[in-house]
Structure 1
């Protein structure tokens, strides 16, 4: 019996004569865009990876990666193959792991998670403590999260999980409500104009720092704009950690998520006050690829994160 591989409408390839190990090489090359780095990722020699690339080019009838200056750029066909091949390799790996059963105490898996520095500060210390007790061999790699959901990175297997606030989540992803959060005003303890929670006019007289997180307008400024009002933002930063330290040493104020505000107030000479208007909560979601609902290892990690979100 002969089998054929059809990917995204590309002409079928007869896989009865196709070395499926070549797919691992192609995946590594598409990730690294460099033969030497792909060889290192695969624990192979550079000549072995070059030979595999030549075989792939012959079998698929396409150059796949072409040199542009010092870099290698994938051809349109290679880009079309990238996501399906990565998904297929991930499915094979998951099937093998499921057959053995997931043992956190013995696992050496590495999970890559995208989140903001805010979520990292309030979540990761607890998670790392749990991993030290239950799964000391498990590794975590963090990537910075932009305001939009990194759908392509999830689809291609570059990310295992994403934890953040998103306006919409495509139906092909699995999502869970991780935590609901509100906002608070933070100022240094001896701030001359913040001795108690300010009213709206007092809030507008303050000089503000804004943590933008890549957004063009946050919840506070959205609400103020709808009222025909604006606050005096004199400093903008993408970083929550720097924001708290700057506010602790100046007369600037900042609006932070409540959990983060309380965290910094325990470490720095800061006070936390209510806002003079009701914005309601915002929500953080835990997102993964829907096909990985049966991934025992990933779901084990998800459950630990969900417990932290509820704490």
Structure 2
């Protein structure tokens, strides 16, 4: 292959195809027609002498050659974007950029309605795609550019990532308003009488059970789920109790027949962070978006 005759626009097509592994979705990402992307894929296959993407069942899978090229090509594109962007003023009003963010359903409920309102006023053509956040930091997805940003709670973050405090939260106990034990104050014996719903988020042990275990105690968990939003509805219609982040608990208590209680033991707050690749911190559009999200965290009630 003669690199001097290589159309650099094909690299953007290659990157989109590797991200989406689907010609139609890659075309949508690039704002091109499907035939244009199919034609570009044909040219890439000819220039690189490799099929790059092969059909396996109903999906397209990258070849070993494509996987080997994915990282270097994406890194080169990011460096070009950063170099060009550094010399241009970012205009949110005209931006049509698309960002992929991984969050839990709880953080999505807490942050995204306000973010969408801000984008509607300042960056109406910007697009946000949400992905479900796993319990551990999705480092490989951030490295590959499949994710631009994550918002969550992480114990360990490798040095190649920038981490920024976003929000501190506490926990409250939620019961159905006419629950037999939803009277008076909540003490530890009554807490241990309850049958609990646990929102595990993929963890093996949460803050509550860790504290109880240190005291030689345990609670009865009758139901577990990874979904915070569904938990509130289940509690409102059952005999179960759930420990929920305070802002989420107060939000649902305004909509559902829920009674909230302070926990009968002190756990202290937990902290949520924004995490992205260090090398992408200088990207004007991503920096602007993170500034908007940071402001939402700073204005949240304690």
Q: Same fold (TM over 0.5)?
A: yes
2:157 to 152, 164, 169: 169
- 1-structure distance, mates of 2:114, 2:30: 33
Separation in 1, partners of 2:32, 2:119: 31
Q: Over residues 172-213 of structure 1, what are the superposed CA-to-partner deviations in whole Å (9 max), with x where a residue is unaligned?
A: 111101111111111122321132332222111101111121
Equivalent position of 1:309 in the other structure: 297
Corresponding position of 2:253: 265
The answer to whether the aligner puts 1:124 opposite 2:109 as a matched pair is no
User: Matched residues in 2 for 1:40 and 1:163: separation?
Assistant: 26
How far does residue 100 in structure 1 lie from its aligned partner after superposition?
A: 3.1
Q: What's the TM-score once normalised by structure 2's chain length?
A: 0.89
- Corresponding position of 2:185: 197
Distance 1:180 1:249, change over 3 A: same
Residue 94 of structure 2: aligned partner: 106
Can you give the 5+ residue segments of structure 2 that lack an aligned partner in the other structure? none
Shift in CA distance, 105/36, structure 1 to aligned 2, threshold 3 Å: closer
Of 124, 144, 150, which aligns to 1:156?
A: 144
SS in structure 1 of the partner of residue 87 of structure 2:
helix
- CA distance in 2 between counterparts of 1:160 and 1:39 reads 20
| Cα pair distance change 1:104/1:58, threshold 3 Å | closer
Cα contact 1:25–1:52 (8 A) shared by 2: yes
**Which residue number corresponds to residue 254 of structure 1?**
242
Question: Which residue in the other structure is 2:275 paired with?
Answer: 287
Contact 1:90 1:157 in 2 (8 A): no
- Moved segments of 4+, more than 6 Å: none
- The CA distance in 2 between the partners of 1:295 and 1:30, in whole Å, is 22
Aligned residue in 2 for 1:10: none
Question: What is the rounded CA distance, in whole Å, between the counterparts of 1:170 and 1:101 in structure 2?
Answer: 31
Query: Residue 254 of structure 2: SS of its match in structure 1?
Result: helix
How many residue pairs were aligned? 299
Aligned to 2:48: 60
2:13 maps to 1:25: yes
User: What is the TM-score when the length of structure 1 is the normalising length?
Assistant: 0.87
In the superposition, relative to structure 1, how do residues 307 and 196 fare at CA in structure 2: closer, same or farther (>3 Å)?
farther
For residues 261 and 255 of structure 1, the distance between their equivalents in structure 2, rounded to whole angstroms, comes to 8
The answer (yes or no) to whether the contact 1:174–1:287 under 8 Å persists in 2 is yes
Structure 1 unmatched ranges of 5 or more? 1-12
Is the CA contact 1:189–1:269 (under 8 Å) kept in the aligned structure 2? yes
SS of the counterpart of 2:65?
Answer: helix
Map 1:32-111 → 2, pairs under 5 A: 32-39=20-27, 41-42=29-30, 49-111=37-99
